[in-house]
Amino acid sequence: MFKLNHTHDPAATCWLASAQTAGCDFPIQNLPFGVFRLRGSNQAFRGGVAIGDQVVDMAALCASGTLSSLAALACETCAQSSLNDFMALGPQAWQTLRHALFALLHTSADAVTQGKVQACLIPQCAIEHKLPTRIGDYTDFYTSIDHATNVGKLIRPDDPLSANFQWLPIAYHGRVSSIGVSGQQFRRPMGQSMAPGAKAPVYGACARLDYELELAIYVGQGNRQGEPVSLAQAENHIFGISLLNDWSARDHQFWEMTPLGPFLGKNFATTVSPWIVTLEALAPYRLPWNRPADHPQPLAYLEDAGNRDHGALDIQLEVWMDTAQRQAQQAGPAKLTHTSFKHQYWSIAQMLTQHTVGGCNLQSGDVLGSGTISGPTAQEAGAMIELTQGGRQPLRLDNGEERAFLQDGDSVILRGWCEKPGAARVGFGECRGQVLPAIA
Ligand code: CA
């Protein structure tokens, strides 16, 4: 785990005024990584780091001559069109580059340095993103006991949790090709569904389209096939975290998923936010990982003193919805949910270790979805199927619109940040996606 250091000092300021704006997601203590270019241009995509309302162009920074030795090497690697090679360099290189950027952007940097770095800044309002890594594999976990219980009750009211849930972080292997970066638009999927009591399924457009509030955990350094990663070492293999929306076609999913798991119900689109917030930036927001005394305790390979001490993360999360009608009314998006990742039943380290114990090799740039994040109260549910009790109790938005599930034209916006007294606010930006009509 990254220790607290001078880059977490809440009093530290950047010479760029917008980094100090109240509520800013990207102060000098954050420094998240993404891949970008000028919007609408045919420029090469390259790595960038968000600061205030600007992005530090890592290709330009390499050429500025402001970095040396390992920081210069890390910057050069980070300037590529995906972050895989940079992330594969490992924690020492990530930390060296973060600390070098912190020094360059800090108010105490000399005027010549400030001038050189200023010349590497591009306004975030002028850029477009692509996925931050070439994702080789995407695995989606199912690690919120509140989500699993809420959804389980809709299917098996007397026995909502599957027998394995409290013993291991369960997951399925997802689809990479349809993962898109924030701003993604996708067609409502077609597929089979089986109505309750019907004798045969029908083929048609999804009638129960949903979102899932999740985090994307990016693998930094991978592991060799056949060489599992211990729980004590797991976080050394995690580069950072972004927001993830696991769009879900519930009617298709519940018909097809027995016995092999989700297929078309999940493979049409997944959206991630563009900026990866590093584990080092999140260090002030670690919490002990606990398991209630009357629950099964983890088997030894999923148990570790460090995980008990700081395995959890207090990341505030919100889901917002925008609709065509709200836009016409200039009403702005409506908030549906606010919860925290701290309630998750399994930690990010336990997910990574579980993935490797059978010998599976993770690769730099792989994504682990956290699974839907729901908190302990009904208002903290991370999916519409929970908020609406399976569609039976539609949500009523403050402009009078109702939703049992998503309609064509609806946008879902995920937001995340960490905030507490004595630490700088660290934000994730947003993860936005929009439903377009099906092509029948
Ligand atoms: Ca999911």
Contact in structure between 24 and 17 (CB atoms under 8 Å): no
Q: What pLDDT sits at residue 40?
A: 96
Give the distance (Å) from ligand 1 centre to CA of residue 101: 35
| d(CA 437, ligand 1 centre) in Å | 22
CA of 84 to the centre of ligand 1 (A): 24
User: Chain-centre distance of CA 162, in angstroms?
Assistant: 25
Q: Output the pLDDT for position 2.
A: 85
CA of 141 to the centre of ligand 1 (A): 7
- Tell which CATH architecture fits domain 6-129: Roll (2.30)
**Range list for CATH 2.30.30.230 in the chain:** 6-129
Enumerate the CATH 3.90.850.10 domain ranges in the chain, comma separated.
138-436
Question: What pTM, to 2 d.p., does this model score?
Answer: 0.98
Q: Kindly state the tokens that stand for 102.
A: 């912190």
Q: For this structure, is 129 an active site residue?
A: no
Q: Could you give the C-alpha distances from 106 to 32, 222, 419, in angstroms and in order?
A: 16, 33, 21
- For 3-15, b/e burial (b = at least 16 CB within 10 A) is eeeebbeeebbbb
Task: Find, among 187, 73, 50, the residue nearest to 120 by Cα.
Answer: 50
**290/281 Cα distance (integer angstroms):** 22
Among 8, 147, 252, 355, the active-site one is 147
Give the separation between CA 219 and CA 240, rounded to whole angstroms.
8
The CATH label, of 1.10.530.10, 1.10.3720.10, 3.90.850.10, 3.40.50.170, for the domain at 138-436 is 3.90.850.10
Ligand 1 centroid to Cα of residue 316, in Å, is 18
**CB-based contact 166:81 (threshold 8 Å):** no
Buried b (16+ CB within 10 A) or exposed e, 299-324: eeebebebbeebbbbbbbbbbbbbbe
| Strand residue runs (E) in 304-384 | 312-313, 316-322, 334-340, 367-369
DSSP 161: S
The pair of three-digit structure tokens given for residue 284, joined into one six-digit string = 């002030």
Quote the pLDDT of residue 426.
98
Which run of H or E residues covers position 329? Answer: none
Report residue 196 as tokens.
Answer: 């309750």
CA–CA separation, 81 and 131 (whole Å): 10
Question: Ligand 1 mean position to 136 CA, how many Å?
Answer: 18
Per-residue pLDDT of the chain (440 residues; tens, 9 = 90+): 789 999 999 999 999 999 999 999 999 999 999 999 999 999 999 999 999 999 999 999 999 999 999 999 999 999 999 999 999 999 999 999 999 999 999 999 999 999 999 999 999 999 999 999 999 999 999 999 999 999 999 988 999 999 999 999 999 999 999 999 999 999 999 999 999 999 999 999 999 999 999 999 999 999 999 999 999 999 999 999 999 999 999 999 999 999 999 999 999 999 999 999 999 999 999 999 999 999 999 999 999 999 999 999 999 999 999 999 999 999 999 999 999 999 999 999 999 999 999 999 999 999 999 999 999 999 999 999 999 999 999 999 999 999 999 999 999 999 999 999 999 999 999 999 999 999 97
